[in-house]
C-alpha cells in the first residue's frame, strides 16, 4: 500500500483516458461538414453497436446453462423492443429475466 | 428535463451499478481506503481501465507501462468523437466535460437517441453525462465501502449493458435501414476475434471503418447509396 504511487497512477490513467476521447474534437474542430467526416459520423454508430453486441456476447459459454439463460434474456429484450419500442422497458425486461434465471428465482 | 435525462440514462444505471460494485470489491482487496475507488470513478471514469488498474497496482507496474496500456485499452474512444463532431457545439467547459465522459454507453445513447422535443441540447447532454458518471461513482464507492456487506444480490445485473447495446443496435437498424455497415461490422468482428481477441474492440472498430471507407472510395454504388 503506497498512497503516493496510487495518486500518480490515478493521475496518469485519467490523463491517458482523456487523451483517447479528446483528439477528434481538437483535430477536426470546425470541419464536421466535410463529406467524408459526415459519412464516418453516420456509419460509425451502427458498426460500433454491432461490434459492442458481439463483444458482450463473445465471453458467454454457450454450452453452459448461462449461455442458455443469455439466449433467453436476449430474445426477451429483442421481443419486448419490437413489441413496444420502449428502450427502458426492453432493457429492464431482459435484465430481470437474466437475473431471475441466473439467481434461480423460480 | 431532469426527469427525461434520468429516464434516458436509467439503463446505464442498471449497467454501471453492478459493474462499479464489482470494481469496488476487487479494489478494496488491495488494502487501500474505500474512497480511492470513489476518486478513480471521478477522475478516470473508464470501466475496463479501472479493472486493469487493480492488476497494475497489485503488480506495482511502471508509470510508462500504465500510460501506454491505458491509452491502448481505451483508444477505440477516438472513433466515438468522430461520430459526435456535429452533435457537440461550442459549449465551453461543458463540452470538455462531455468529451471527458464519453464512455461506450454514453456514446451509444448519444449517437442513437434524439434529444427530447423542447429540451436544451447542451443541458440535456450534460445531464446525461453527469448522471451516468454518478451511477458509476456510486457503484465504485458501494463496492469498495460495503461490498462484502451488500444485501441486494446484483448477480446477473451486468446483462443490462448487453441489453442496452442490443436495443440501440435495433434502433440503429431502424435509423439506417441499409445492411452494409452491419455486415461489415460482423465481418470485422469475426476477423478481430480470430486474430486479435485480446484487443477485439479496437481492431474490429478500426477495421470496419477502414473497410467502409475503402468501399466508398472504390465502389460507385456504395458512393451513391451511402
The total of structural domains in chain A comes to: 2
Residue B148 has pLDDT above 70, yes or no: no
- Closest-CA distance, A75 to chain B, in angstroms, reads 10
Each residue of B43-89: pLDDT tens digit?
A: 999 988 999 999 899 989 999 999 998 998 899 999 999 889 888 98
Domain borders along chain B are: 2-176, 178-226
- Contact criterion met (CB < 8 Å) for A52 and B44: no
Dihedral of CA B193/B198/B201/B202: which sign? negative
- The answer on A36 and A65 residing in a single domain is no
Question: What is the distance in angstroms between the Cα of A85 and the nearest Cα belonging to chain B?
Answer: 9
Comparing CB atoms, the residue among B10, B81, B173 nearest residue A88 is B10
At A40-93, the pLDDT tens digits run: 989 999 999 999 999 999 988 888 999 999 999 999 999 999 999 998 899 999
Whether the CB of A67 is below 8 Å from some CB of chain B: the reply is no
Question: CA A98 to CA B128: how far, in whole Å?
Answer: 26
> In whole angstroms, what is the distance from residue A100 CA to residue B157 CA?
10
Q: pLDDT tens-digit profile of B187-200?
A: 999 999 999 888 89
Looking at residues B174-201, what average pLDDT do you find?
94
Q: Helices in A1-106 by DSSP H: which ranges?
A: 3-21, 23-27, 35-58, 65-84, 87-103
B48, B191, B197, B199 from B19: Cα distances, Å: 10, 28, 22, 20
Angstrom distance (rounded) from CA B54 to CA B68: 16
Residue A71 resides in a domain: yes
- Is there a domain that residue A51 lies in? no
Task: Tell me the residue range of the domain where A32 lies.
Answer: 1-44
Task: Tell if the CB–CB gap between B14 and A91 is shorter than 8 Å.
Answer: yes
Contact criterion met (CB < 8 Å) for B63 and A9: yes
Nearest to A60 by CA among B79, B158, B44: B158
Question: What is the CA angle B208-B211-B213, rounded to 5?
Answer: 110
Q: Which of B20, B45, B34 is nearest to B138 (CA)?
A: B20
Residue A36 belongs to some domain of the structure: yes
The reply to whether A3 falls in a domain is yes
pLDDT in tens, B13-42: 999 998 999 899 889 889 899 999 999 999
Distance from CA of A101 to the nearest CA of B (A): 9
Q: Does A54 touch chain B (CB under 8 A)?
A: yes
ipTM, 2 dp: 0.92
Mutate to test the interface with A, among B166, B206, B208, B214 (most CBs of A within 10 A): B166
> Do B153 and A103 count as a contact with CB atoms less than 8 A apart?
yes
Domain assignment present for residue A50? The answer is no
In the prediction, which pLDDT does B26 show? 87
The C-alpha atoms of residue A40 and residue B82 are separated, in whole angstroms, by 7
Question: Does residue A54 lie within any of the structural domains?
Answer: no
Tell whether A67 and A103 lie within a shared domain: yes
pLDDT at position B130 over 80: yes
Q: Which of A6, A43, A97 would best serve as a mutation to test chain B binding (most B beta carbons within 10 A)? A: A43
**Among B70, B156, B163, beta carbon nearest to A90:** B163
* Upper half-sphere CA count for residue A48 (Cβ side, 13 Å): 26
Which residues of A are less than 8 Å from B95 in CB distance? 25
Q: Can you give the pLDDT at residue B24?
A: 92
Q: How confident is the model at residue B170 (pLDDT cuts 50, 70, 90)?
A: very high
Confidence of residue B136 (pLDDT cuts 50, 70, 90): very high
CA distance B29 to chain A (A): 11
pLDDT at B40: 97
Over 70: is that where the pLDDT of B151 sits? Answer: no
Regarding whether A65 and A29 lie in a shared domain, the answer is no
Spell out which residues of chain B touch residue A45, defining contact as CB-CB under 8 Å. Answer: 83, 108, 111-112, 172
Amino acid at each position: 500500500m503506497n498512497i503516493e504511487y496510487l495518486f500518480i497512477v490515478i493521475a496518469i490513467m485519467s490523463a491517458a483516458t482523456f487523451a483517447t476521447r479528446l483528439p477528434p474534437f481538437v483535430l477536426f474542430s470546425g470541419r464536421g461538414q466535410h463529406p467524408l467526416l459526415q459519412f464516418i459520423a453516420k456509419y460509425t454508430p451502427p458498426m460500433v453497436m454491432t461490434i459492442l453486441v458481439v463483444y458482450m456476447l463473445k465471453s458467454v459459454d454457450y454450452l453452459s446453462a448461462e449461455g442458455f439463460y443469455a439466449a433467453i434474456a436476449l430474445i426477451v429484450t429483442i421481443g419486448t423492443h419490437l413489441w413496444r419500442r420502449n428502450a427502458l422497458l426492453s432493457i429492464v425486461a431482459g435484465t430481470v429475466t437474466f437475473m431471475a434465471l441466473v439467481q434461480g428465482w423460480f | 428535463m431532469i426527469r427525461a435525462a434520468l429516464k434516458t440514462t436509467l439503463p446505464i444505471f442498471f449497467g454501471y451499478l453492478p459493474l462499479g460494485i464489482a470494481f469496488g470489491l476487487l479494489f478494496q482487496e488491495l488494502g487501500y481506503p474505500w474512497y480511492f475507488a470513489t476518486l478513480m470513478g471521478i477522475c478516470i471514469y473508464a470501466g475496463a481501465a479501472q479493472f486493469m488498474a487493480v492488476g497494475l497496482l497489485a503488480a506495482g507496474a511502471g508509470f510508462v507501462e500504465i500510460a501506454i496500456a491505458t491509452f491502448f485499452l481505451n483508444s477505440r474512444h477516438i472513433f466515438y468523437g468522430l461520430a459526435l463532431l456535429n452533435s457537440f457545439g461550442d459549449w465551453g467547459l461543458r463540452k470538455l466535460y462531455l468529451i471527458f465522459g464519453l464512455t461506450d454507453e454514453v456514446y451509444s445513447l448519444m449517437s442513437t437517441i434524439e434529444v427530447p422535443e423542447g429540451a436544451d441540447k447542451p443541458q440535456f447532454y450534460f445531464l446525461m453525462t453527469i448522471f451516468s458518471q454518478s451511477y458509476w461513482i456510486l457503484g465504485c464507492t458501494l463496492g469498495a465501502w460495503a461490498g462484502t456487506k451488500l444485501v441486494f444480490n446484483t448477480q446477473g445485473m451486468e446483462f443490462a449493458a448487453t441489453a442496452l447495446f442490443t436495443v440501440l443496435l435495433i434502433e440503429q437498424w431502424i435509423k439506417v435501414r441499409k445492411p452494409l455497415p452491419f455486415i461489415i461490422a460482423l465481418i470485422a468482428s469475426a476477423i478481430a476475434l480470430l486474430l486479435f481477441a485480446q484487443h477485439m474492440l479496437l481492431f474490429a472498430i478500426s477495421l470496419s471503418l477502414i473497410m467502409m471507407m475503402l468501399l466508398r472510395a472504390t465502389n460507385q454504388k456504395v458512393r451513391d447509396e451511402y
